[in-house]
Amino acid sequence: MKILKIKKSLNEAIISIKNGQVLICPTDTVYGLICDAGNKKAVEKIYQIKQRPKNKLMPIFVSDIKMAKKLAEINKKQEGFLKKVWPGTVTAILKSKNVKGTIGVRIPNYKWLLGLAEQLNQPLAETSANISGEPATTKIKEVLKYFKGREYHPDLAIDAGNLKKSRPSKVIDLTVWPPKILRE
């Protein structure tokens, strides 16, 4: 796995995502695993790397509400709510436009990651950078340790050092009104 310091990593990250690779990257919560949400092989690779159960859906990062509307049905009430919490650490559960059921969508409040999503102009599949069942972390050394020597591992790691202490995003179900908090 290649490791790059965040300062000069955006162009290489864009190329890696376009080539179907999986990246470790900083977010506004914890370190995450990301890939092109439209690349089934890359999404499958995240499931393998993380040892995540297939029935557990993966949230999607978008750069703006316009991109979110391509993936999910968003009415005026929901849009008003989302404009108050995005960008930020809230994953919204919404009715999916493309598949049966729901989808988790979020606009992260992290400049580098927003720049990546904007330049790619496509949604990114995202989950915390850990093995399922293990704690998520804000420390790059712990993240790298999770995947060292494993058969399935990310292709590229973006090192932003240790992130501010944080927790995974809050998850709010917007398919009901008033919205219901699923994870604090």
Give the distance, in angstroms, between the CA of residue 121 and the centroid of all CA atoms in the same chain: 15
- Report the distance separating Cα 141 and Cα 55, nearest Å: 29
The CATH number of the domain where 139 resides is what? 3.90.870.10
Strands 180-183, 23-25: pairing kind: unpaired
What are the φ and ψ backbone dihedral angles of 5, each rounded to 5 degrees? Answer: -70, 145
The residue among 137, 183, 182 whose CA lies nearest residue 164 is: 137
Tens place of pLDDT for every residue, the chain, 184 residues?
999 999 989 999 999 999 999 999 999 999 999 999 999 999 999 999 999 988 888 999 999 999 999 999 999 999 999 999 999 999 999 999 987 899 999 999 999 999 999 999 999 999 999 999 999 999 999 999 999 999 999 999 999 999 998 877 899 999 999 999 999 8
| Residue 168, pLDDT score | 77
Q: How many domains does the chain have?
A: 1
For the entire predicted model, the pTM comes to: 0.93
Q: Which domain holds residue 157?
A: 2-183
Contact between 121 and 14 (Cβ < 8 Å): no
- Report the distance separating Cα 68 and Cα 7, nearest Å: 28
